[in-house]
Structure 1
């Protein structure tokens, strides 16, 4: 990617909007509020601002760490004691801002602070010449200082035009070596702290998909899914966004055909709690600029 003034301005615009909408949306997370209503209202804030979602709003509760969003007709409600990860992506002309915070409806303040402090510690060392392994080491050390575990198999990620997961990968644990950070790189750092095992596994439920191949489909329901997916230019979409009936049949057909990639909900062990914090940043000559702060 070539980082010129136009691209830089698009990243900054996406970041400013993502910051504003994330905090407004997080304010809707209250005991007794409906998850579907919160998600749809927050997603609408992005389109009302003239931007486009980079991915469906992720709202993951308690031991769930990522890839959850409202289901069609979702009747779930936020409850006392919930720990709610709100993860928002906004794109302007394909240039993405990805940011997240954790809303505490219980007594999880120390766990929330662990991921937030790890994010700030990581940002503080970003500059050209360091390695992604060094960033991971700072994240792990900070979370462990708070007496929690980092989630080892979740990472931050590079951001490119219409590409939500490009190089470099930013680990949440110490690693030897890794990619060398260079001026002009754009990536999201997203530490996860957990009271559980420190590893997430895939749940059966899938709400988010991504088109990864451009082949035709025969089933009417599959064709309808692709009508939703194609304008996304490879960015993820929600099952909830696809109109009509037999949507699940179309989705399964396209996954089996290798046209769609599913993103199952990721969770730690039952009864555990996971917190998340995330910012997008652009690497500068002597540090970085956080676009979502």
Structure 2
């Protein structure tokens, strides 16, 4: 079973590599055959009319179609294994008293190694979200942010990996105080419900309705006050495309969504957010997340600083999301005006932190699922969630 027999890898080492602690060995070196762990494979749910989808598992045509996309599924699986190992490491070191910057940098350094970062071919798919308490999404610290993680915080760790633009978007919530356990349970259950309901030809609105039913069935008591957990109605899951985190379809987490159906071959991020607040988020705080608009073609820019910054973005991130810290580490400075210019021109879109009411708590769980022709694969599933 030695790696030497395989022509794939340049490694001269004999015997299979094992992961270090802390993790530093790239996933592709741990699996030199290029066969990566498969996620949780599920039969598709029966549709409303009672027709079962079991036939897909063995149907010859569907199996051929499945095999034809094996390289793509493999890229997702490699990125997912990196995600699992990184998040396991994060759970081992994340503690109250650490700065948010330190948490994100440790996570990202580990992620860069395991994914074997290589330009636009492999790397981090978007900045590390570590949104706290009433803030549900899109917070990552900018340089100089003094925020320190507290014992009573509810922190959503949302990070992404990719191989060849095949993105794993997967998130979990970290708490230290057990008083939040029921809130987390509600949201984990809601996300798993969304995953169970998802499938080829399933209407997006039906997934949202089931998620809401489950989430709202939970009552949680925090500091002597009882809340019915609310889904955050203006946040949702989404289809994922190559180098495109939001590919156009949204998976609601409340009833009343679109009747559009999920289709064979699509990839979805199924995520739910539960809140003790209003169940609605608004833009708040300083922006850290940005992403090039996928549909904007070539725009000639005269301003030298903006032109330079766009070149940096194109070379390093393409259409993947990035944050200010990532511009800093590339040696960029005094770029805020140029970045604003690119935003004003519609070339880059800002994604500010999204927060519910002050004093509320929000939790999130998220997985990436592959709607393969033969089965549904929860590719980012782990022993943890």
TM-score by length of 2: 0.72
C-alpha displacement of 1:155? 0.6
Q: Hey, what does 2:74 align to over in structure 1?
A: 9
Q: Say which one has the larger Rg.
A: 2
Q: Hey, what does 2:196 align to over in structure 1?
A: 124
Q: Hey, what does 1:206 align to over in structure 2?
A: 287
C-alpha displacement of 1:33? 0.8
Q: Hey, what does 1:183 align to over in structure 2?
A: 264
Q: Is the 8 A contact 2:156 2:173 kept in 1?
A: yes
Distance 1:229 1:249 in 2: 15
Corresponding residue to 2:148 among 60, 69, 77: 77
C-alpha displacement of 1:117? 0.5
Mean CA deviation greater in 256-265 or 120-129 = 120-129
Distance 1:112 1:159 in 2: 25
C-alpha displacement of 1:245? 2.8
Give the secondary-structure state (helix, strand or coil) at the position aligned to 2:342. Answer: helix
Q: Hey, what does 2:359 align to over in structure 1?
A: 271
Q: Is the 8 A contact 1:281 1:292 kept in 2?
A: yes
Q: Write the mapping of 1:17-32 to structure 2, written as runs, cut at 5 A.
A: 17-32=82-97
Please say if 1:281 is aligned against 2:369.
yes
Give the secondary-structure state (helix, strand or coil) at the position aligned to 1:153. Answer: coil
Q: Hey, what does 1:194 align to over in structure 2?
A: 275
Q: Is the 8 A contact 1:196 1:273 kept in 2?
A: yes
Q: Hey, what does 1:133 align to over in structure 2?
A: 205
Q: How many pairs were matched up?
A: 292
Give the secondary-structure state (helix, strand or coil) at the position aligned to 1:206. Answer: coil
TM-score by length of 1: 0.94
Please give the root-mean-square deviation of Cα atoms over the aligned residues, in Å: 1.8
| Structure 2 runs not aligned, ≥5 long | 1-65, 117-121, 219-227
Cα gap change, 1:227/1:73 in structure 2, threshold over 3 Å: closer, same or farther? farther
Q: Write the mapping of 1:1-293 to structure 2, written as runs, cut at 5 A.
A: 4-49=69-114, 50=116, 51-106=122-177, 107-146=179-218, 147-175=228-256, 177-212=258-293, 213=296, 214-231=298-315, 232-242=317-327, 243-285=331-373, 287-293=375-381
Q: Is the 8 A contact 1:60 1:68 kept in 2?
A: yes
Distance 1:74 1:99 in 2: 25
Mean CA deviation greater in 213-222 or 283-292 = 213-222
Per residue, is there more strand in 1 or in 2? 1
Give the secondary-structure state (helix, strand or coil) at the position aligned to 2:325. Answer: helix
C-alpha displacement of 1:223? 3.7
Distance 1:253 1:115 in 2: 39
Distance 1:139 1:27 in 2: 30
After the TM superposition, which segments of 4 or more aligned residues of structure 1 sit over 6 Å from their partners? none
Q: Is the 8 A contact 1:148 1:194 kept in 2?
A: yes
C-alpha displacement of 1:204? 4.0
Cα gap change, 1:155/1:174 in structure 2, threshold over 3 Å: closer, same or farther? same
Cα gap change, 1:10/1:36 in structure 2, threshold over 3 Å: closer, same or farther? same
Distance 1:114 1:272 in 2: 16
Give the secondary-structure state (helix, strand or coil) at the position aligned to 2:98. Answer: coil
Distance 2:336 2:285 in 1: 14
C-alpha displacement of 1:159? 0.7
C-alpha displacement of 1:224? 4.3
Mean CA deviation greater in 241-250 or 190-199 = 241-250
Distance 1:196 1:151 in 2: 9
Distance 1:72 1:177 in 2: 40
